[in-house]
Chain A
Amino acid sequence: MSLPLTSLSLLSRLRDEGDHAGWQVSWKRFLELYHGPLMAMAAGIYRYHTGNAVPPQATIEDVVATVVVDFFKRDRFDPERGRLRTYLRVLTNARVVDMLRKEKPLDHESITAGEDALAESLPAESPEEERSFQQALLATLIEDLREHIPLRQFEIFEMVKLKGTSPDAAAADLGVHRGVIDNTIYKVMTRLREIASNPEYQEEYEQSSF
């Protein structure tokens, strides 16, 4: 198994097929990209179900860990049927509800009031959650780009566009003419926009409609 595969469509299909090392690489990459939005989702959903109680850090971290394991052990996410962010929110909501039921604290009376409805009840997406998810999506896009262009081109793109090195400094550092840097940036940005035009990215990036 050649991993990590990071485009949205491939992310959804990563499965444990007996290659445990490959599986570990893929969940780690997924966690690197999406732990921010998952934590924001878990915290927002916890507050929603507990009347705005402050979520314990350990609880949120455990929910995120369980969601990632679930994501790679289940085979339900299908990009053609819905958005990744929706799928992750549903998974996260289910795990938060599970955790609150196990805890059964006195100040969580709301979770016993309507348990059946609870698992299907999702709060509106918070601005923090949306911002975090969009950043994760852009980071995924960068990873996708890395898989689709020569390493040398990505190196130049990374220096100039991601790390803020000036084109002149990049040219001097790499021992090439300034024109090589400009041409490469143009080519890479064109490729990036082509990848970003994939409907999956378009739909995932759209403003929340929850």
Chain B
Amino acid sequence: MNNPLFKHPDVQLSPREEAEITQDLANAYRQNEIGEKKPEFKRIAESIKKKINDKQNGGL
């Protein structure tokens, strides 16, 4: 376990640990937002829609 966010909630965090948590959360949030805008994300989403439709049309 290398992220202080996952320490027991009763454990007092140091300012450095709090800053580390903030940075990790901000990175994850930013990466998630960037990821949703990538062309590959849109292509995969379209592919999933097609696979779902194929399954529903073939399976019903």
Q: From residue 12 to 50 of chain A, which have CB atoms closer than 8 A to chain B?
A: 20, 23-24, 27-28, 31-33, 35-36, 39
Partner of B27, one of A20, A32, A135, A201: A135
Asked whether A64 is an interface residue with its Cβ less than 8 Å from the other chain, the reply is yes
Asked whether A139 is an interface residue with its Cβ less than 8 Å from the other chain, the reply is yes
Asked whether A193 is an interface residue with its Cβ less than 8 Å from the other chain, the reply is yes
Q: From residue 5 to 34 of chain B, which have CB atoms closer than 8 A to chain A?
A: 5-9, 18, 21-22, 24-32
Chain B residues near A68 (CB, 8 Å)?
44, 48
Contact, CB under 8 Å: A202 / B6:
yes
CB of A181 to closest CB in B, whole Å: 14
* Interface residue SS majority, chain B: helix
A139-156 Cβ-contact flags toward B at 8 Å (1 or 0): 101100000000000000
Q: From residue 65 to 123 of chain A, which have CB atoms closer than 8 A to chain B?
A: 65-66, 68-69, 73
A73 to B58, CA, bound (A): 14
Partner of B31, one of A20, A23, A28, A36: A36
- Interface residue count for A (Cβ, 8 Å)? 44
Asked whether A127 is an interface residue with its Cβ less than 8 Å from the other chain, the reply is no
Asked whether A206 is an interface residue with its Cβ less than 8 Å from the other chain, the reply is yes
Contact, CB under 8 Å: A27 / B40:
no
Contact, CB under 8 Å: A66 / B41:
no
Q: From residue 124 to 173 of chain A, which have CB atoms closer than 8 A to chain B?
A: 134-136, 138-139, 141-142, 158, 161-164
CB of B19 to closest CB in A, whole Å: 11
Partner of B51, one of A20, A65, A142: A65
Contact, CB under 8 Å: B5 / A192:
yes
Chain A residues near B5 (CB, 8 Å)?
138, 141, 192-193, 196
Contact, CB under 8 Å: A69 / B43:
no
Q: Chain B residues in contact with chain A, CB under 8 A?
A: 1-3, 5-9, 18, 21-22, 24-32, 35-36, 40-41, 43-45, 47-49, 51-52, 55-56
Query: Top 7 nearest A-B pairs by Cβ distance?
Result: A138-B28, A65-B47, A139-B32, A193-B9, A162-B29, A135-B28, A139-B28
